[in-house]
Amino acid sequence: MLDERVRAVLARLEAGVAEPELAETGRFLFALVAPQTDCEVLEVGAGRGYSTLWLAAGVRYLGGRVLSLEQRPEAAAEWRRNVADAGLEEWAELLEGGLLETLEAVDDVFDIVLLHAGVVDHERSFELARTKVEPAGLIVAHDMPSAGARREDADLLSVVVPVGSGVEMAVVLSE
């Protein structure tokens, strides 16, 4: 739920950004995870934790967790502060390190994987993310340059949703 602590941190993060679609995308992510029981989310390229806050507040409803990956130490430090200030430490965890190496090393499966625009090798990240999602799981790509490119893949059902600056959602149809 978006209690006062979460709202305060979101407002602080939004104040320094000239992207009005940011909150719209956040609300979309919240709505995606909140109705799912025990929703397991992997976030690749967590930055300062803005999306993490929306995701963690969402999984708090019916259980679940968010595992975030971030490679920049300064962003990771801000992520930790923002998650703590919002009171969401119980629902969000951060792993630091190179995104591709850390993503490859994660030994778990998730209901949803969120890939952010800051990911260096988009296609390799997508292929690694695909191994972390069970059939019927979602890979959500936010602000990715190849959005919509996977529509021809028979093992995925992909759609670009006009939320914020565009979100590609790909349902994994097979292992």
Its domain, for residue 150, covers 4-172
Domain CATH code at residue 163: 3.40.50.150
Confidence of residue 154 (pLDDT cuts 50, 70, 90): confident
Is the pLDDT higher at 149 or at 18? 18
pTM of the entire structure?
0.92
Q: In 3-149, which residue ranges form alpha helices assigned H by DSSP?
A: 4-15, 21-33, 50-62, 73-86, 99-105, 122-130
Q: What is the β-pairing status of strands 167-172 and 156-161?
A: antiparallel
Q: Say how many domains are in the chain.
A: 1
Report the C-alpha gap between 133 and 148 in whole angstroms: 19
Question: How many other C-beta atoms are found inside a 10 Å radius of the C-beta of residue 74?
Answer: 9
Confidence of residue 152 (pLDDT cuts 50, 70, 90): low
